[in-house]
Amino acid sequence: MRILVVEDEPKMAGLLQRGLGEGGAVVDVTDRGEDALWMAGSSQYDVLLLDVMLPGIDGFETCRRLREAGVWTPVLMLTARGEVEDRVAGLDGGADDYLTKPFAFQELEARLRAVARRDTGERPAVLEVGDLRLDPAERRAWRGGVEVVLTQTEMSLLEAFMRRPGRALSRLELLEAGWGLTFEDRSNVVAVYVGYLRNKVDRPFGHEDIETVRGVGYRLRTPAL
């Protein structure tokens, strides 16, 4: 595992480098967020360990800029004890997890393994297609700024559509997205739920964006099409 540690306190930085190195990781250390930006952008790390309080740009800003630049390396944020708002800001800024100082080294290693296992594909905090918005973390959706209340299943289906805008999704793909692979009764549940979704995000707003693709399934029309 290759880890970039961004920590300005020399003692803590040294401890992390030694401890993680002894655990078999390859560890680079920098004390500035600005350096982390180009290091993580030009080199492949499995995980970034990012302290919140840094000289120059702080950990949140570093994380935000990384995500803006399309760098989706998993980030574990280190916060000071009890900084609850920091936790929220960290997760909003695209961090994958956070750990409060002081921490047990074993817990740090367990968290690092957990975030490093996550898919590092693009995971935008909020999905947007035309005037549809969906926040997967908050499980909330909006059409043209108006919040639309969706059930879990409807939310999962809309998310599947919004992750592949313009692409036809088969009924099987939508079944997996909405109900998981274990769902047995495939009769017409997808059609029923796509109908629910249309009644919530399309019809009330005068849209017909969720299209039926004959012989395949359904597609969310993109504004450009």
Where do contacts with Ca ion occur on this chain (CB under 5 A)? 8, 51, 53
85: its two tokens:
């708002």
Residue 153 CB, shortest distance to Ca ion, in Å, is 43
Between 53 and 125, CB nearer to Ca ion: 53
How far apart are the C-alpha atoms of 40 and 43, rounded to whole Å? 5
Please give the Cα distance from 29 to 3 (Å, whole number): 9
Nearest distance from C-beta of residue 36 to Ca ion, angstroms: 13
Complex with Ca ion: residue 8 or 211, whichever CB lies closer = 8
Nearer of residues 75 and 174 to Ca ion, judged by Cβ: 75
Beta strand ranges found along the chain (DSSP E): 2-6, 26-30, 47-51, 75-79, 97-100, 127-129, 132-135, 140-143, 146-148, 168-170, 210-213, 217-220
Q: Which two tokens stand for residue 31?
A: 């004390």
The C-alpha atoms of residue 173 and residue 180 are separated, in whole angstroms, by 9
The residue number whose beta carbon is nearest to Ca ion equals 53
Whole-number Å distance between alpha carbons of 141 and 170: 23
Amino acid at 204: P
Q: Which is nearer to Ca ion, 51 or 154 (CB)?
A: 51
Residue 10 or 204: the one with the smaller Cβ distance to Ca ion is: 10
Output the smallest distance, CB 15 to Ca ion, in A.
13
Taking the complex as a whole, the smallest distance from the CB of residue 53 to Ca ion amounts, in Å, to: 4
Minimum CB separation from Ca ion for residue 55, in Å? 8
Residue with tokens 């030694």, as numbered in its chain: 18
Residue 17 or 120 with smaller CB distance to Ca ion: 17
Q: How far is the CB of 54 from Ca ion (least distance, A)?
A: 6
